[in-house]
Amino acid sequence: MVRTALRRAALGGGLVVLIVTLTFVLINMAPGDPVRLWVSPGATEAEVESARRALGLDRPLPVRYVTWLSDFARGDWGMSLAQQRPVRRIILDALPHTLLLTGGSLFLTYLGGIAVGAFQAAKRRTKWDTTLTIGNLVVFGMPAYWLAIMLVLTFAYAAARFGWPDWIRFPAMGVASLDADFLNPWQRIVDRLRHLTLPLATLAALGIAGTSRFARGAMLDARGQTFVNAARARGLKPFTIETRYVVRNALLPLITLLGLSLPALFSGTVFVEVIFAWPGMGREIVAAVLARDYPVVMATTAIFAVLVVAGNMLADVLYTVADPRLREHPA
């Protein structure tokens, strides 16, 4: 078990290094000169070259990569070229917002996905099952950015224009209102939840649509197993059979889906944060790419890669917890 965990950790570390290496090469091959964005518009060639040397961009690419990698491993993530702030401070400010959005999305995705999938499996080949299947396919086929824009147009702009009640009218951007500092603690929590609603609904709707389809198939497969038929023959209550036998065994493929869905979740978060002006790492990545801000791009990419790899390792651990047989015969 320990040997397997160490091997997977080594593979995960190698994957992170591969991702940051490719990112470093691609961002440096992209057209444009970040030094021109950093210096004043009227700077002379001598001033540009001086700035290039000061930023360390005059050195060969392999030397710059090795230097960045060693500094990053020591915790020195450099200074942002565009913001003139430590990259560490930028990430520490943005990471909690991204974790709140992705964590809430994962929770609602699996809670709602399992509930909808279980309901569809119980109502198999009925109008309910058909309607939910069509709805899931429609939502799952929507791009994250398009769904986000539609939610803004509906529950922010249209709701404000037509005077809809406050409980279905939500802010279109940001994490807090302009007067948040003057609110009491409870009002601040409500205000933060209202700003979180639309971006969270975007990610959760897409996640539930995909997870429920997977959960439905897993539960139908579990229902056909011999141990479920044996439980019915023993006269156990349907609720006990569903919760103890069907849902528990259907969780195994859903745990595998968790590891596979993390990259898509983080990529969707990037679009959602930009559209809703959510001050997370996704928005920082987009702004850094547009400004050719190498230190921020590299640091945020590395953090995202670590989160994805860590999420996959967590899925492996949960799979072992859910299926005791893997403790005796690990993969």
- Residue pLDDT, tens place only, 147-165: 999 999 999 989 888 888 8
**Residue 270 confidence (pLDDT) above 70:** yes
The residues near 11 (Cβ < 8 Å, ≥ 6 apart) are none
- Cα dist from 109 to 175, 214, 279, whole Å: 21, 12, 22
User: What letter would DSSP give residue 227?
Assistant: H
Domain-located, residue 53: no
Domain that holds residue 171: 2-30+101-328
Q: What DSSP designation does 235 have? A: T
Q: What is the mean pLDDT of residues 224-248?
A: 82
Domain annotation covers residue 56: no
- Separation CA 118–CA 249 (nearest Å): 12
Find the radius of gyration of the CA atoms of the chain: 24
Give me the chain's average pLDDT, please. 84
What total number of domains does the chain contain?
1
What's the CA gap between 51 and 295, in Å, rounded?
16
35 domain residue, yes or no: no
Distance CA 8, CA 237 (A): 41
156 belongs to a structural domain: yes
> pLDDT value at position 205?
93
pTM here is 0.82
Asked if residue 190 belongs to a domain, the reply is yes
The whole-number pLDDT of residue 328 equals 55
Question: Distance between CA atoms of 126 and 115, rounded to whole angstroms?
Answer: 17
User: 44: which 2 tokens?
Assistant: 């002379």
Q: Is residue 10 part of a domain?
A: yes
| Rounded distance between C-alpha atoms, residue 272 and residue 68, angstroms | 30
Within 13 Å, how many C-alpha atoms sit on residue 259's CB side? 15
Q: Is residue 76 part of a domain?
A: no
Annotate 117-129 with b (16+ C-beta within 10 A) or e (fewer). bbbbbbeeeeeeb
Q: Which two tokens stand for residue 307?
A: 């989160």
pLDDT at residue 135, rounded to an integer: 93
Q: What are phi and psi of 11, to 5 degrees?
A: -65, -40
pLDDT reading at 60 higher than 80? yes
- Which pLDDT tens digit goes with each residue over 11-25? 888 888 888 888 888
Residue 113 belongs to domain with CATH number: 1.10.3720.10
115-143: pLDDT as tens digits: 998 888 888 889 999 999 999 999 988 88
Q: How confident is the model at residue 69 (pLDDT cuts 50, 70, 90)?
A: confident
**Predicted pLDDT of residue 327:** 57
- 8 Å CB contact between 201 and 193: no
Is 109 a member of any domain? yes
What's the rounded mean pLDDT across residues 227-240?
83
Average pLDDT over residues 265-289: 88
Q: Which class for 66: exposed (0-12), middle (13-18), buried (19 or more C-beta within 10 A)?
A: exposed
Q: Which residues pair with 79 in a beta bridge?
A: 86
